[in-house]
Amino acid sequence: MNILIKILFVIIIVPLAGGILAGLDRKVTARMQARKGPPLLQPFYDVFKLLQKENLVVRCSQNFYIYYFLFFVIFTVVLFFTGGDLLLVIFALALAGIFFVLAGFKASSPYSLIGAQRELLQIVSYEPAVILVAAGMYVVTKSFYVAQIIAFDQPLIKFLPGIFFAFLYILAMKLRKSPFDLSTSHHAHQELVKGITTEFSGRALAAIEIAHWYENILIMGLVYLFFASNIAFGIILTLAVYFLMMLVDNTFARFKWQHALGSSWLVALICGIGNIIILVALKR
């Protein structure tokens, strides 16, 4: 019963936190641009509005992949916040991303097709750095389990600065922010219109938004693991990292996919793998 209560708590609380974080993001971004911005709860109003709209589709099967995308994101979040295997969390999140890509391909729109291709390129770009996070934490803590990683008595950033930098570099991809918002954008006035989400509406688009709320909190949870030895310190630094991503989003133009792919792999190779090599060498 305890584990079921914990799972229900995670399923309910995480999207609420994700929606509030999205509202805070929009509010702070507006202030950075000298605008007043929408209310803090505007993301919730948008989702409720989408749930009431007519569900228009190009192909009926495209929504099938979206709901599987949402299911695997929720599964990943539950696994993470119940202290499960971090490696399984990363692979399940990658599987969720593949279902999102398949949904974009299934819509058969030129915009969603290009958006899906770019989404796939983003997965290829950021996945090495994300896997290195799990590998580095295992080298330090001797465990892949989130519960044991959090229980480690020293901040992991002390041992994994290179891996943290590599993860920080690709964080904008995971949060869908500039300069790496290649597959879609918060704004429709760009070359892709709305990219991979162009042909989705109604409940399916609401499901995508809710999945992104879950995903954003999960990504912030991964950032928190680097500072988890001190709860208050960890939360403050995690929020500081998110603020940094908002600042980057508002100061950088979008990169080309070639630059995104090449630079993310280069940073992962030099900083991430280099960090692990140094750790292993020091332990001998």
pLDDT tens column, 27-80: 888 888 888 888 889 999 989 998 888 777 666 778 888 899 999 999 999 999
> Distance (Å, rounded) from C-alpha 94 to C-alpha 216?
14
Residues 111/200, Cβ–Cβ less than 8 Å: no
Handedness of CA 234, 213, 218, 193 (dihedral sign): negative
Range of the domain at 217: 2-283
**Widest CA span of the chain, in angstroms?**
62
> Distance (Å, rounded) from C-alpha 43 to C-alpha 259?
31
Of 32-36, 73-77, 107-111, 189-193, the range with the lowest mean pLDDT is 189-193
Number of domains, the chain = 1
Q: Which residues pair with 85 in a beta bridge?
A: 145
C-alpha closest to that of 210 among 51, 63, 84: 51
Instruction: Take residue 280 and report the two structure tokens written for it.
Output: 């292993």
Regarding pTM above 0.75, the answer is yes
Judged by DSSP in three states, 61 sits in coil
Q: What is the pLDDT of residue 193?
A: 60
> Distance (Å, rounded) from C-alpha 161 to C-alpha 272?
9
Render pLDDT for 212-246 as a digit per residue (tens, 0 to 9). Answer: 999 999 999 999 999 988 888 999 999 999 999 88
**pLDDT above 70 (res 275):** yes
C-alpha closest to that of 90 among 72, 104, 67, 103: 72
**pLDDT above 80 (res 4):** yes
**pLDDT above 80 (res 140):** yes
> Distance (Å, rounded) from C-alpha 27 to C-alpha 236?
19
Alpha helix positions (H), the chain: 2-32, 42-52, 62-81, 86-106, 110-141, 146-150, 161-174, 202-225, 231-249, 257-267, 274-283
